[in-house]
Amino acid sequence: MKKRVCLPIVFLVVLSLSSLGVTASAEQKEKEASIIYYNAKEVTNADYILTIPSKLAFTQKNKRLDASVTMYDVNGDFYTGDKSVKVSVESKNNYNLRSTDDFMDIKYSMVKFNDAGVGTTISSGIGNEIGVFNKAKTRVRVDATLWQTAVAKDKIVEFEDTLTYTFTDK
């Protein structure tokens, strides 16, 4: 059985004020500050739950994000049953964030890590498998990393890509 889940990736460049930090003076009555909440999508089967990132949001200061995948039982504990599921991911734009106004593209990468901490870049096509999850392997650390950008500090641009995760029972 195959299941597919799509995940939007957004990179919003807001550098003109955000690079200065959050400060307030005595004359100011209010000040805005960014708050980030990590929320994982759950892909539920009768026997297990897989969590994947529901959104990845790069910023100029936060260029490396946790995109790990984890397998739980239906009670929320690490999975201990007999099922196995293969998880793969595919990028709509070949791991490029495309600007919504066709201004430019920004390259990013996703790297999965084995138990020894050695990373392998996930690529479109043959190299897109994250791993086979079961009671012996309930989590794979995956980092999403934004490459260098040349976006002007005064330009506000939104960049997007969509990741499609595929789950196949083994």
CA 148 from chain center: how many Å?
A: 17
Q: How many structural domains is the chain composed of?
A: 1
pLDDT of residue 6: 54
Asked if residue 13 has pLDDT above 70, the reply is no
**DSSP per-residue codes, 25-78:** -TT-S----------EEEEE-SS-EEEEES-EEE-SS--EEE--EEEE-TTSSB
CB 158 within 8 A of CB 99: yes
What pLDDT sits at residue 153? Answer: 66
Q: pTM, whole model, 2 decimals?
A: 0.73
Using the structure block, give the residue that is written with the tokens 């099922």.
83
Question: Bigger pLDDT: 80 or 148?
Answer: 80
**Is residue 31 situated within a structural domain?**
no
pLDDT tens per residue across span 41-78 = 666 667 888 998 888 888 878 889 999 999 999 888 99
131-159: pLDDT as tens digits = 999 999 999 999 999 887 766 666 677 88
Say if 27 falls within a structural domain. Answer: no
Torsion of CA 35, 61, 92, 45, to 10 degrees: -50
Highest mean pLDDT among 25-29, 50-54, 114-118: 114-118
Does the residue 87 lie in any domain?
A: yes
- What are the backbone angles phi and psi of residue 73, rounded to the nearest 5°? -85, 175
Examine residue 103 and state whether it is found in any structural domain, yes or no. Answer: yes
What is the span of the domain harbouring residue 132? 2-19+37-169
Secondary structure class of 146 (helix, strand, coil): strand
Tokens of 155: 């330009």
Q: What band does 7 get if pLDDT is binned at 50, 70 and 90?
A: low
Domain annotation covers residue 133: yes
Is pLDDT above 70 for 164? yes
